[in-house]
A and B are shown apart, each in its own frame.
Chain A
Amino acid sequence: GAVVSQHPSWVICKSGTSVKIECRSLDFQATTMFWYRQFPKQSLMLMATSNEGSKATYEQGVEKDKFLINHASLTLSTLTVTSAHPEDSSFYICSAVVARDTQYFGPGTRLTVL
């Protein structure tokens, strides 16, 4: 089946620093990827839609200048959390559309901001 990888799997950083998370489709090309955030014991909340070669579309309430998304190729999308603060600590998960509307998820990145 389709494989989506994410790197790093976990990261700890100091408040005010930036963190980049990579999402890769390993055996298929993904023109569309999605970024989600999941707080403990909560559901997945869509942050933004990442389309290859164009600007990302952000959901209401998500700061585009804080969460920078780049989808530079058909197999890679990156999410950069800029000037991270403790409230940004969360589980960040990407997904890629494989066919029609089926989405497969990456393993997630646990971000802890001290």
Chain B
Amino acid sequence: GENVEQHPSTLSVQEGDSAVIKCTYSDSASNYFPWYKQELGKRPQLIIDIRSNVGEKKDQRIAVTLNKTAKHFSLHITETQPEDSAVYFCAASGSARQLTFGSGTQLTVLP
């Protein structure tokens, strides 16, 4: 089955700096890669996603890049703000639409 690895497990940045979270996946058949933000005790919220026919996608301060050959994808957050502090999860899925999640990254944005 699919295996998704995520790094780093914790990340602290100064407000206004950029944050980058990286994930690798094992199943070359995976074709959908969402990123979720989860605040303590709350549901995961989809913040951006990318499909395998696209190399990069951007939505305001958030961008995701995908390298299918290397089987890795990354989340980039620019101009970070304290409200960006949360746990971020990457995930991957294929035709069965089942999501396999990474282990999560605790992002802390220091004011």
Which residues of A are in contact with B by a Cβ distance under 8 Å?
Answer: 32, 34, 42-46, 49, 91, 93, 95, 97, 100-108, 110
Contact = CB atoms under 8 A, between A and B. Distances in A.
Contacts of B102: 43
Nearest to A10: B41
B46 A104 contact: yes
Interface stretch (B55-63, B73-81, B93-101): B93-101
13 contacts: A42-B103, A46-B100, A49-B96, A49-B98, A101-B97, A102-B46, A102-B49, A105-B43, A105-B44, A106-B43, A108-B41, A108-B42, A108-B43
A95 B44 CA distance: 10
A42 B98 CA distance: 18
A72 B98 CA distance: 20
Contacts of A49: 96, 98
Contacts of A91: 41
Given A43-B103, A102-B49, A97 B43 contact: no
Given A42-B103, A46-B98, A105-B43, 20 more contacts: A42-B104, A43-B89, A43-B102, A43-B104, A44-B44, A44-B101, A46-B100, A49-B98, A91-B41, A93-B44, A95-B99, A97-B97, A101-B93, A101-B97, A102-B34, A102-B46, A103-B34, A103-B99, A105-B44, A108-B42
A34 B44 contact: no
Contacts of A46: 98-100
B65 to A, nearest CB: 19
Q: In this complex, which of B34, B42, B44 has the most chain A Cβ atoms within 10 angstroms of its Cβ?
A: B44
